[in-house]
Amino acid sequence: MSRKQALQFTAFFWVVNSVLLWINGLGYSLQGSFFAFNEFSLLTKTKLIIYFLFSYISQLSLLAALPCLLLLPIALLFPKKWFVLPLAIIAFLLLLILFNIDIYCFNQYRFHFEGIMFTMLFNWQVNEVFALSWLELSFFVCLIIIIAIIEIFLAIKILRYCQNGNISLTKFLCFVLTVWFATLISLFFISQTIAKPNLFRIFKASVRSLPLYDRTLVLFLNHQFSYFKLQQAGDGFLLQPSQASFDLNYPLNPLQCTPPKKPMNLVIILIDAWRFNTLTSAIM
């Protein structure tokens, strides 16, 4: 493998894995998104949809580029097929595994797999949060095997194209320009709302399902907008859906009850969000 072929392989493997992340990212739940609020005008909703779509494309493509930080120097300095190919497969496989863990974490708890979650993981406290059944574990293992097979197949296919000279530089440049254009449009929309805290909060909330979005946004915004300031943006504003102000209309009829002559001695225990693995015979 020549240095040129190694660089071409790395670049097009990034393109393919960007598309895989776009497809995988559809697993993020959009419940409670901006579509639930009727207070927005049609123009604002249209802007939010455009902003979300372009942010989705650019952010996941940038995430897919993280393994390239390792692969590009190796492709330049040590372009050996037996080394670059397995390393690329392992790097992108780990990325997709973490990405799917993040999808599960966000859909379950509405926060991403970062920061305190990594601390808990390395301190062997992950079972305090992730209590998976054998069915979920089996599904996740099967998912890893499927992703690994896909990565191996795509890596070998792309390598053959690179060695045969069938790689189109024009297509790669078109993809890079698309990602760059999506990034610029996304930054344009968010920059227009910085001076309006309430609107800025709404736009930022619309992309909260995208992992590491705030940390990426800090790199492109003015230095005064630190990560923590972005987290606090618009906290003084509360947006409620219009249906929350409707009358409850309950009960439909007056409540009627007759107390028993001999009251029963009952103790009602209410448990909220009790994990399945704690319902053991010893506790019950």
Task: Write out pLDDT tens, residues 163-214.
Answer: 887 777 777 888 888 888 888 888 777 777 766 666 777 777 778 888 888 7
Contact predicate 1/81, CB 8 Å: yes
**Residue 194 dihedral angles phi and psi, to the nearest 5°:** -60, -40
Q: How far apart are CA 140 and CA 227, in angstroms?
A: 32
pLDDT of residue 32: 47
Q: How far apart are CA 98 and CA 79, in angstroms?
A: 27
Q: Which residue has the tokens 């926060």?
A: 111
User: Cis omega (within 30 of 0) on the bond before 211?
Assistant: no
Q: How far apart are CA 183 and CA 16, in angstroms?
A: 18
Q: How far apart are CA 278 and CA 185, in angstroms?
A: 48
Residues of the chain with pLDDT under 70: 29-40, 115-132, 194-198, 220-248, 273-280, 282-284
pLDDT of residue 190: 75
Contact predicate 208/51, CB 8 Å: no
Tokens matching residue 55: 């942010």
pLDDT of residue 228: 58
Contact predicate 4/70, CB 8 Å: no
